[in-house]
Each structure stands twice: as C-alpha cells, then as structure tokens.
C-alpha cells in the first residue's frame, strides 16, 4: 500500500480521535472528507482498497491540507493539523457551513441550503469581529488597524479557500477564461 493511502488511514483515525470517537463521528468525518460514511467505516475496519488519488484529493480540498501531508517523504504518519493551510480550513468550520458547501459542490444544494450557508458565515467569530469593528469608530491606533488587517486576512483567506473548493468541485462554476 502506498504511503499516501497509509496517511489517509491515519488522517481518518486522527479526525476520529479529535472528535473523541463519539457516536456519529464517522458520519462527520465522511462529510468533511467528501466521501460516504460506509467508506470511512470500511477504512476503519481495515479495507483500504478504495483509498485512491481521487479520495486523497477530496481530503486535500475538504480539509484545506497541503498535499505534502500525503506525499512528503517522512517517517510515520504526521499529524494533519501541521499540514493545514494558513487560511481557515473547511474542517475547522462549523458543520452548518461544511454541509451546504459539500451539497453545493455535489450540485445538490437547494435555496434553503444557500441561505443557511450565508447565515452561518455571518455567525463566524472573525466575521462578527469585522462587523463590530466596522460599526464602531474609525480605527486610528496601530493595534486597532493591525487587528483589522488580521481579521481581513482571515476573511479573505477563507473566501479564497471556499472559491477554490467550489471551482474544483462544482459543475455550476466555470473556470475563468473558459467558454463552454
């Protein structure tokens, strides 16, 4: 079995441990990785035959991982959090965001899903922080301006990650410059 497949298996176990392997953890992990729960169940039971490059690619996008998590030459399985991109990863977002994002990516989103996604994004702590900063007095001190930049950087990074994910998975999004 390839190192990438072994690391995928380690990733599933790490995600399960992060959730305390509570009831329903395999369903949550499956949603985050963009696969069916039965696939996660088979991986956990030892059936590793379905760990393909496509499954690994879904994990990279779903968790906003650096591909090196799967492909770097290291001994043993690294922890996935050390390979998360600096932008907010989909895995780190609330399930209220990840569910509609995955539905949209699969082309199964309904209008209610999109409204729920918008409401969930507005409830993110850094978005609330940005709204509070914009509602207050103009920022003049260096720490105030610096914190505004930090919030903006997180928001832009998150939006860029979401847009890349949507563009890579959605049949409804056309890459820029390509006509169909």
pLDDT score recorded for residue 166: 53
Residue predicted with more confidence, 99 or 168: 99
CATH code assigned to 3-85: 1.10.260
Taking the domains of the chain in order of start, what are their residue ranges? 3-85, 95-169
Q: What is the per-residue pLDDT across 73-114, written as a single tens digit (0 to 9) for each?
A: 777 778 888 887 655 555 556 677 777 877 877 778 888 888
SS3 percent helix, strand, coil of the chain, rounded to 5, is 65, 0, 35
Is 39 a residue whose pLDDT tops 90? yes
- The mean pLDDT of the chain is 75
Q: What percent of the chain has pLDDT over 90?
A: 8
Q: Is the dihedral of CA 139, 143, 149, 150 positive or negative?
A: negative
Tell me: pLDDT of 176 over 50. Answer: no
Residue 143, SS3 per DSSP: helix
* CA separation for the pair 145, 139 (Å, rounded): 6
- Banded pLDDT at 62 (limits 50, 70, 90): confident
Say if pTM beats, i.e. exceeds, 0.75.
no
Q: Using alpha carbons, select from 56, 37, 167 the residue that is nearest to residue 105.
A: 167
Q: Check residue 117 and give its pLDDT.
A: 82
Q: What is the CA radius of gyration of the chain?
A: 18
Q: Higher confidence at residue 11 or residue 88?
A: 11
Q: 108-145: per-residue pLDDT in tens?
A: 888 888 888 888 878 776 677 667 666 766 666 777 67
Q: Which of 7-11, 45-49, 101-105, 167-171 reaches the highest mean pLDDT?
A: 7-11
d(CA 52, CA 126): 36
The angle formed by the CA atoms of residues 11, 13 and 19, to the nearest 5 degrees, is 105
């Amino acid at each position: 079995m390839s190192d990438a497949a072994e690391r995928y298996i380690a990733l599933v176990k790490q995600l399960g441990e992060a959730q305390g392997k509570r009831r329903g953890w395999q369903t949550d992990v499956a949603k985050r990785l963009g696969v069916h729960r039965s696939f996660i169940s088979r991986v956990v039971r030892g059936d590793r035959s379905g760990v393909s490059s496509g499954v690994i690619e879904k994990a990279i996008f779903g968790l906003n991982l650096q591909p090196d998590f799967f492909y770097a030459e290291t001994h043993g399985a690294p922890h996935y959090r050390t390979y998360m991109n600096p932008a907010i990863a989909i895995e780190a977002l609330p399930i209220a965001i990840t569910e509609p994002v995955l539905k949209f990516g699969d082309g199964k989103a309904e209008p209610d899903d999109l409204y729920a996604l918008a409401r969930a994004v507005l409830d993110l702590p850094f978005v609330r922080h940005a709204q509070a900063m914009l509602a207050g007095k103009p920022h003049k001190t260096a720490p105030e301006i610096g914190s505004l930049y930090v919030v903006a950087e997180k928001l832009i990074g998150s939006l860029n990650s979401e847009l890349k994910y949507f563009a890579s998975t959605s049949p409804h999004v056309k890459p820029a410059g390509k006509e169909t």
